[in-house]
Chains A and B, each alone.
Chain A
């Protein structure tokens, strides 16, 4: 359902008059129900790749095709429409801290009728206490905020879920909950692209892996833990 062909991304910083090449000629694909792990050292271009997939970054060249729609040069509205089916969990907490927990959780589907119910269900699943629902995000811990980040992505019931290091602040229990949820998503034909450091999650869920080094693809194929450790 997602095909990436020769994706390259460079940034030109006018203020420093400098060009930075981050991604060079990256190609891979993801099928429905497949879990693709993106691996690589820090700075190898993992987050950049994923942001190009979500449309935040505009590719310098190459194609990103979702079931026939190429988003590399799509109009803004097209990208917004596609995003309704893509869940993106960013590394950073991008929510306005002045929002209540329950509002933040259901914001992506705010115009749907039972958005609050869906939000409550997920909050409960991730073991967030009910007394927190009306509290501002700014008072939550890192782990709690990260859980909300995840909820915001999955509440959309997307066809593609992209996770960029979603477990940094999570405790073991929450990681397990996430792992089980991702398993269920796979069974429901949701495609998943994940940047994780924890091999235990990848071992259980990953089907394919994409290894990046300095913006190049050094490996794209079946997930193989040993091979991965050798190449990194």
Chain B
């Protein structure tokens, strides 16, 4: 079976690229698009994949990660598809070399540069869905900047637990205009979005939305004056394999013992090899 370069036909790519342009022009705003049938079940990254396949050029270098790891089932399958339909595209695990990185639920620990694009897989693009079930109403809310309900989400946490216990999908304000769901990345990764050099693209295949955060865009997590945004507390913990501190760690329980391991596998590998890694500038608050 002969496929078009990168699986998608040119018309589909055209539409998706147009929608991406529109998304980049209106940071944080969700753009509807005609999500195609992909050789991947919905809920497994079809949105992110459609973006990746639409923007891949013949000489791009692609990295695909899931929760920070390159070797999981999903990235492996996606890379196989790319290898088959876009053979000229090089596949890598090295964050430094990649020009396009597709990721699920994590932003790499290594700072991404101007020429790099991070494509995030998005399950639920609408940050207000929890408080308003109707799409018509949430669209109106975005149009009118009616975002107080997002603050209520934080308010309830503070009222009941004394702290904001949101683990992922922490609501952020993009460019002082749109409330955005950053996808289920941990709070740890949120500060990376702010004034980054690289381009962030978000794709939701099941929900049929694309949105973007262009380079050097202000991205602020929602917070109260007296209860500011805090990332997870990684102090006192270090990676069992490479010894790094101040990095997002996965918890592993082995033989009844609790260990921590770097979530970002490429970062961990570099640390073990003694390769210097440039971190994101933004102060990591915890």
Direct contact of A and B (CB under 8 A): no
